[in-house]
């Protein structure tokens, strides 16, 4: 029987990979969501349709399938090697959640009251200025709580990278469990607790944003 501390120390070895995948996925998926959300709000039909296609493909299939696809299929098919599997994991998670989150970007932009656009036209702002100074600042406030929820989803999704061999928290848990079968309950409870501790700041962020988001916004 291993002690709780012994197991925790083993799991701790995986926290670096989990955090790397988490942080890079958050950055990349946020960028993708903003770009795709703005494209889908644009009046340029080609850009709009093309982004729509990307969003539907990635929302329509499953993240775990995409992850395997990026990790096994992509290198073979196009001879693209992402260098390390970390990038396959980050890319799959970011493209998947970028697609989901682009919908909240689009939805929030659409939810800003039309009077706001009219007032900025009356003040002679350009399309870009309207977006930059009036619409986006309000849309961002509106999307923050849901954004927080997606950050928690992304954290949960990082556990999938253990399936493509990345040595994250769950990976070390699985390894330990395979040699100490009877410790399985403690191992997985600890793994869950580790994830929950990582989730706590994200939960707090989401709660805070729920109160912030209602201020300073003219909703349609």
Partner 1 sequence: MTWSWEVFFEVIPIIFKGMWITVGLTIVCYLFAAIFGFFWLFMDRIPFKPANWLFKWIAEFIRSTPPLVQLFFIYYAWPMVPVIGVSLNPFSAAVLGLGIHFSTYLSEVYRSGIESVEKGQWEAATALNLSTSQKWFKVILPQAIPPTIPMLGNYLIIMFKEVPLASTIGVVAMLHLANDYGAQYYKYVEPLTVVAIFFLILSYPSALLIKKLEDKYNRRFDKKYVTES
Partner 2 sequence: MGEPIAKYRDVHKSFGEVEVLKGIDLDIGSAEKVALIGPSGSGKTTIIRLLMTLENPTMGTIEVNGKNLWHMESKNGLVPANEKYLREVRGDIGMVFQHFNLFPHMTILENCMTAPINVKKESKESARKRSLEMLEKVGLADKVDLYPNQLSGGQKQRVAMARALVMRPKIMLFDEVTSALDPELVGEVLEVIRDIAEEGEMAMVLVTHEMDFALDIADRVLFLNDGVIEADGPPSEIIENPKSERLKDFLSRFTSSNGNHA
Which residues would be at the binding site for partner 2 (CB under 8 A)? Answer: 113, 115-116, 118-119, 121-127, 129, 133-134, 137-138, 141, 215-218
CB of 62 to partner 1, least distance (A): 4
Q: Which of 157, 164, 166, 217 contacts partner 1 by CB under 8 A?
A: 157
Number of neighbouring beta carbons within 10 Å of residue 109: 20
CB of 141 to partner 2, least distance (A): 7
Q: Which of 1, 43, 45, 76 contacts partner 1 by CB under 8 A?
A: 76
For partner 1, the binding residues in 34-73 under the rule CB under 8 A are 56-57, 59-66, 68-69, 72-73
Residue 63 touches which of partner 2, partner 1, none (CB < 5 to 8 A by kind)? Answer: partner 1
Residue 124 touches which of partner 1, partner 2, none (CB < 5 to 8 A by kind)? Answer: partner 2
State yes or no: residue 173 binds partner 1 (CB under 8 A).
yes
Cα–Cα dist 13/18, whole Å = 10
Residue 94 · residue 28 · CB < 8 Å: yes
Half-sphere exposure of 179 (CA within 13 A, CB side): 8
For partner 1, the binding residues in 115-134 under the rule CB under 8 A are none
Cα–Cα dist 65/75, whole Å = 15
State yes or no: residue 15 binds partner 1 (CB under 8 A).
no
End-to-end CA distance of the chain: 60
Return the percent helix, strand and coil in the chain, to nearest 5.
Answer: 85, 0, 15
Residue 176 touches which of partner 2, partner 1, none (CB < 5 to 8 A by kind)? Answer: none
Number of neighbouring beta carbons within 10 Å of residue 201: 10
Would you put residue 214 in left (φ > 0), alpha (ψ -120 to 50) or beta? alpha
For partner 1, the binding residues in 79-118 under the rule CB under 8 A are none
CB of 129 to partner 2, least distance (A): 5
Q: Which of 144, 160, 164, 166 contacts partner 1 by CB under 8 A?
A: 160
Helix (H, G, I), strand (E, B) or coil at 124: coil
Helix (H, G, I), strand (E, B) or coil at 112: strand
Residue at token pair 């849309």: 139
Footprint of partner 1 on this chain (CB under 8 A)? Answer: 56-57, 59-66, 68-69, 72-73, 76-77, 152, 155-160, 162-163, 170, 173-174, 177, 181-185, 187-189, 191-192, 195-196, 199, 202-203
């Amino acid at each position: 029987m291993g002690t709780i501390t012994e197991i925790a120390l083993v799991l701790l070895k995986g926290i670096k990979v989990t955090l790397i995948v988490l942080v890079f996925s958050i950055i990349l998926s946020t960028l993708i969501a903003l770009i795709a959300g703005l494209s889908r709000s644009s009046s340029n039909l080609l850009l709009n349709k093309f982004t729509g296609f990307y969003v539907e493909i990635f929302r329509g299939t499953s993240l775990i399938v995409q992850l395997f696809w990026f990790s096994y299929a992509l290198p073979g098919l196009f001879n693209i090697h992402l260098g390390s599997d970390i990038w396959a994991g980050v890319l799959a998670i970011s493209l998947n959640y970028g697609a989901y989150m682009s919908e909240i970007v689009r939805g929030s932009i659409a939810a800003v009251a039309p009077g706001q656009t009219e007032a900025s036209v009356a003040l002679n702002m350009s399309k870009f200025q309207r977006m930059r100074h009036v619409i986006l600042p309000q849309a961002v406030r509106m999307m923050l709580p849901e954004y927080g929820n997606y950050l928690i989803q992304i954290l949960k999704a990082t556990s999938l990278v253990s399936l493509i061999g990345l040595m994250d928290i769950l990976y070390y848990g699985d390894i330990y469990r395979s040699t100490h079968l009877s410790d399985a309950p403690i191992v997985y409870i600890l793994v869950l607790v580790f994830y929950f501790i990582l989730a706590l700041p994200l939960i707090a962020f989401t709660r805070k944003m729920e109160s912030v988001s209602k201020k300073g916004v003219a909703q349609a």
